[in-house]
Amino acid sequence: MDQMAALELRSVDLQSPRNNKEHHTQEMGLKRLIVRRGQSFVLQLHFNRSFHFGKDYLTFVAETGPAPMELLGTRATFSLTQARKGNVWSASDFTTDTNSLLVSFFTPASAVIGPYTLKIEISQGQGHSVAHPVGTFILLFNPWNAEDEVYLPSEILLQEYIMMDYGFVYKGHERFITAWPWNYGQFEEDIIDICFEILDKSLYFLENPSKDYSQRNDPVYVCRVVSAMINSNDDSGVLQGNWGEDYSRGVSPLEWNGSVAILRQWSARGKQPVKFGQCWVFAAVMCTVMRCLGVPTRVVSNFRSAHNMDGNLTIDTYFDQNAEMLPIQKRDKIWNFHVWNECWMIRKDLPPGYNGWQVLDPTPQQTSNGLFCCGPASVKAVREGEVHLPYDTPFVYAEVNADEVIWLFRNGQAQEILVHNTSSIGKEISTKMVGSDQRQNITGSYKYPEGSPEERSVFMKASRKMLSPRRASSPFLDLLGSRGSQDQPAQLQLHLAKTPEWGHDLMLKLHARRVPDRVHPRGPIRLVVRFSAQALLHQGDTREPLWRQTVHLDLDFGEEIQWPLLLPYENYRNKLTDEKLIRVSGIAKVEDTGRSMLVLKDISLEPPHLSIEVSKRAEVGKALRVHITLTNTLTVALSNCMMVLEGSGLIDGQIYNNIGTLVAGHTIQIQLDLYPIKTGPRQLQVLISSNEIKEIKGYKDIFVAASRAS
């Protein structure tokens, strides 16, 4: 019998459209192979002759990283077999057709993620082998697979936390929560490559590339690396933070609409940090990266978030007797809101019971093992006060549970505790509701109900672990315990008389009611109430007072008084930050006892509202007319107005439109045509910024149908 010609590989069909669809990666494109670990995919190999199993021997080599090694899990060698053997790299279940071979490839659910090259070595019997390149593919985490550590057993949740490429970031203040539309855009064609560029720029990779790659099978490790790389405090990270008010050397954090422009700019400009970000930008960009890599991720906002650097579980704030909130010298602060991520994974490094959502915070606040990153901290561990469990659980616990102590500062020292709040921190913890544009309150997953026996018990357990025995029984804590319960002769509240709008006078009412106390069981009292209004900054600091007023009140027993207060627009016109928040404080002094009482009201000023309408059914490739309407409800003109439109699947990149000046009381109507690119649910984000107001935002949900044959 004549000897068969040597088997030669002529061409390969990676079957990308079919494989990507089966692996839920078709949104990233169909031109190249992108698959998820723990799930088989098929390739078609074309040879110079028909393949004979048992005579022709095929060995495949898959490699990733700079120096692939089997020992490190970055190189796998496996031969063609008739059936797959367990959770290992394999090529099996093949079918032959003339000169082609259809092979099923399988990657273990614990494989290293990343870009791979695949080679084939062909031999006949004991003869020498010839190697041919087969092609390249990208391997991702697989939350659809029960063997993967990021497995999420709900298709509805997977559609939200992996496949949804837009969403909302919640900002503002606990009583004025604003939903900010955000374009995550994790399936834009180049984003997957940028995600791996981020991993390859980390300090872990630069120190030891082979070791770094070998750990990329572990979602805990990858999340920590990404958390450190989104900020640029230690490395060539994606974003540079800026909590000042001068953004002239970059883009204001308020003017970003989504992650795609940020990631593309970082990649295109030599991996130089993009200017500028704050917490919601850091978290939204991390959400894009983690969803792209295949880890279920959501963005979470914590209102009145404690930034507790000394770990004593109390945040001190100081007011003087004129009701002015004093500059905070310590690094401990209460942020109006703080935004982080939750990633879903199994925690094999923790005792049983702490799987599921894990907090990851890419905003640079404090170092963790020497780098500015935070997490993963198990949400369950935070709720149960298990602050000894890694990573950074004490810091996250304090963010949602610390106590607030407000002091009256006189003669150069703190003299009197005005308020000791055990429940004012960690409010309205929010994320986007699954399958809806509504907000979901998830505070209950972080802590037991405020004031409940379980909540206080957990607080005491965490305190014992976080505070040394000496500090746990300090005179300061004893003082807190004794002063918090002292009663007051009046109840004071500040209310808004009408909706606060930027550009208008603010109308408030002081509601005062006389109640019995030990010193004045029934008699009248006289109060001197000094008011102060200050611009409130995002990180909890304030500026110089922009308005003051003093009110004298005589209150008889059982009497209630409503006293009107007017804060004119001219007082705050040029005094606020871009966040448009004002803190109105009042300190009431009881004349005959000298005791003081505090009343506070934080006010968020409403910007004008955008209206967005689309004319008809949206279809891929067909013109879609969009109508955008903005009325300037202010008493001043909006100057230098710039409009930016964004929306993955609707627009490639961004559309800019210079609108110019919008006179007070006037309405502008803009019409433009979009040509949708992808089918399915999409979101159009619109931002109009001006010199006066940086953030007038709107969005429109649009369902795009496939194009009908004409």
Q: Which residues are annotated as a binding site?
A: 401, 403, 450, 455
How far apart CA 490 and CA 492 sit, in angstroms, is 6
Q: What is the number of alpha carbons within 13 Å of residue 236 lying toward its C-beta? A: 17
| DSSP codes, 316-327 | EEEE-TTSPBPP
- β 333-345/356-360 pair status: antiparallel
Q: Which two tokens stand for residue 8?
A: 């030669």
The H or E element containing residue 200 is helix 191-200
Are 621 and 676 within 8 A, CB to CB?
yes
Q: How do the residues of the chain divide into helix, strand and coil, expressed in percent and rounded to 5?
A: 20, 40, 40
List b or e across 257-290, with b for residues whose CB sees 16 or more CB atoms inside 10 angstroms: bbbbbbbbbbbeeebebbbbbbbbbbbbbbbbbb
| DSSP codes, 593-637 | T--EEEEEEEEEPBPP-EEEEE-S-EETTS-EEEEEEEE--SSS-
Longest dimension (CA), the chain: 120
| DSSP codes, 18-84 | HHHHHTT-GGG-SSSEEEETTS-EEEEEEESS---BTTEEEEEEEE-SSS--GGGTSEEEEEB-SS-
Instruction: Please tell me which residue in 361, 392, 602, 641 is annotated as part of the active site.
Output: 361
Are 545 and 532 within 8 A, CB to CB?
yes
Instruction: Please tell me which residue in 195, 223, 279, 292 is annotated as part of the active site.
Output: 279
279 is catalytic: yes
Q: Which residues are annotated as a binding site for Ca(2+)?
A: 401, 403, 450, 455
Sheet holding 100-106, edge to edge: 9-13, 41-47, 100-106, 90-97
Of 488, 513, 480, nearest to 593 (Cα)?
A: 488
CA angle, 696 as apex, 238 and 167 as ends, to 5°?
A: 55
Residue 684 CB neighbours (<10 A): 26
Instruction: Please tell me which residue in 23, 173, 307, 338 is annotated as part of the active site.
Output: 338
Beta bridge mates, 697: 687
538 is catalytic: no
Torsion of CA 225, 227, 231, 232, to 10 degrees: -20
- Would you please indicate which residues are annotated as catalytic (active-site) residues? 279, 338, 361
